[in-house]
Homo-oligomer: A and B are copies of this chain.
Amino acid sequence: MGMDPPMGSRDSQVRIMEKTVANAEKYFGRFCSLMASYTRNVAKLRDKSDLLVRQLTDYANTESPELRNTMKSFAEELAKVQDYRQAEIERLDMKVVEPLKLYSIRLKQMRAELKRFNNTRSNEIKQLEKLARLRQEAPPHQHSSPQAEFSVHRAAADTSRTSKRLQETFDCFRREKLKDVQRIFSDFVAVEMIFHAKALEVYSDAFRSLHSYGSGKDLEGLSRPPG
């Protein structure tokens, strides 16, 4: 009947596609919910740190000038880290969680394409079965129903066209999937790197400011009676 690839090979290719799409749905669904949950946990860490900043500031206000200044500047550095954490949270949402959500929409589209192909293929099989039945029922040497033969040809052409589109969409999906995996995870890594670099910078300042307090001047003040 002049079909492009042999019927069985095409059906098994479609089964491979279905398996690939189902596998991607499974793992990308998990990546998405884990990344969303990771981001929520970072937000909780920011909340706890914000509370700590507030308590440190309140405490500083109850202390003598030197400890007050040191505690206040420490609280300010800690607050800066939280600003960077807030930026981290927003970037994780935008560059990791959202793209993973969009990805599940792409997977749904891919599923719809597969379903469309399966429907066309079922119709072709139905038409073929009908033609076979008509040929059996017809008297010998009589030409089988031209109408049924036409339906079979039309269904086969449909299947061929849908199959071609499916193959194209799937190739595109496979190509995009690899690019997406790479983009999403390197965006995750980049967002985390920026945060860690900034936090390291701010904590270095905080460390210096806590230690500048430790030396000479401030400890001397301690041995004097309270003012």
- Whether A35 lies near B62 (C-beta < 8 A) is no
Given contacts A38-B49, A62-B23, contact A203 B189 (CB under 8 A): yes
- Whether B204 lies near A193 (C-beta < 8 A) is yes
Q: How far is the CB of A17 from chain B (nearest CB, A)?
A: 9
Docked CA distance A36–B192 (Å): 24
Given contacts A185-B210, A186-B211, A222-B178, contact A45 B45 (CB under 8 A): yes
Instruction: State which of A52-60, A113-121, A143-151 sits at the interface with chain B.
Output: A52-60
The interface residues of chain B lying within 8 Å CB-to-CB of A186 are: 207, 210-211, 214
Q: How far is the CB of A181 from chain B (nearest CB, A)?
A: 7
Number of interface residues of A (CB under 8 A): 54
Docked CA distance A71–B190 (Å): 16
With beta carbons under 8 angstroms apart, the residue of B38, B52, B206, B213 that contacts A38 is B52
26 of the cross-chain contacts (CB-CB < 8 Å) are A27-B58, A27-B59, A31-B59, A34-B48, A34-B52, A34-B55, A38-B45, A38-B48, A41-B41, A41-B44, A41-B45, A42-B45, A44-B44, A67-B181, A74-B185, A178-B219, A182-B214, A189-B203, A189-B206, A192-B199, A193-B200, A193-B204, A196-B196, A196-B203, A197-B200, A200-B200
